Amino acid sequence: MVSENQVHAKPCDASGWLKPEQVSQWKAEGYTLVSGLLDDQLISTLQNAALEKYPAPDSEAAAKIADFGSSGELLFPRRSRH
């Protein structure tokens, strides 16, 4: 079953350029998803580098994080200082 809110990435055309509908979506919505843009080895390298710096998702260490890496400056929701 596919949710109506689900978005699927589409590959670029054979020349490596975005398809016209991808460009239109990017212009209209501010994003487009492109499958195959980064190769699997690069993605794996980036994931490993992120895990060296940040706790794994759903880990006990991740659950303890209450800010956005801003040392408490960007807490959400936050009361105004004014």
According to DSSP, the residues that pair with 10 across neighbouring strands are 34
CB 32 within 8 A of CB 25: yes
The string of pLDDT tens digits covering residues 24-61 is: 999 999 998 888 888 899 999 999 998 888 888 889 98
The string of pLDDT tens digits covering residues 59-73 is: 998 888 776 666 666
